[in-house]
Structure 1
Amino acid sequence: MCEVPKMPHCIVEYSQDLSEQITISEVLAKAFNLLKNSGEFEPAAIKLRAIAYQDVLSGLDDHSFLHLRLHILSGRTTEQKLALTTALVEGLGAELPMVKSISAEVLDIQRESYIKRIS
């Protein structure tokens, strides 16, 4: 059965050096709660996964980073998207002061062309 999926898909990218200081499963749980508490999504529709990057270089002395890419179905306002990214960055930032850079972005998935197989 194919149907228009519920969202979001949240991909957490982070510098692998953070694995010594944080537990990524706890970060995913915190991000899950922030998304759930936003009121934008049903809890069963929230999906998170993480990717660690070993090779990292930036202009900062400390290269540690956490970046959240939030893929959601198109149609939300700029204000709604900003509220989501602000909640993620501020919420995780308060819990993870050891992370040098925390950022988030929203990427629209076009409703007209995205489907999901559920079995």
Structure 2
Amino acid sequence: MPWVSPSKDFAFGFQKIESGSFLLAIWFNRIPEKTITWSSNREIPVPRGSKVELTARSLILTNPSGRKVWRAGLLAGSSSSSRGVTLASAAMLDTGNFVLMDRASAVLWQSFDEPTDTLLPTRR
């Protein structure tokens, strides 16, 4: 079941691709083609049975055998884990941006910081 933005324009979740594998992705939700605007694991699609887990430290994608395929880099370039930063919530925004936030609603990671080949007019 995808995580849909409040406007229902965008969705975050597993999107099946031609090979029968899946990408952890964001897509345009209101059009029949479900065009992908961002994906975490474009180079390493995962099979059915893979999972995404939101922990106190990260968002992690694993394959069915439990091998980590991708991980959201919280506060990229900093030592957030040593400073005790804790992930408190996540949201799929109407801009097409998926965000991970701390208890003060400060963005720790966002999909807009890891663009793929689709640029959205709402990306800042």
Of structures 1 and 2, the one scoring higher in RCO (CA 8 A, sep 6+) is: 1
The higher radius of gyration belongs to 1
TM-score by length of 2: 0.29
TM-score by length of 1: 0.29
When you count helix as a share of all residues, which structure comes out higher?
1
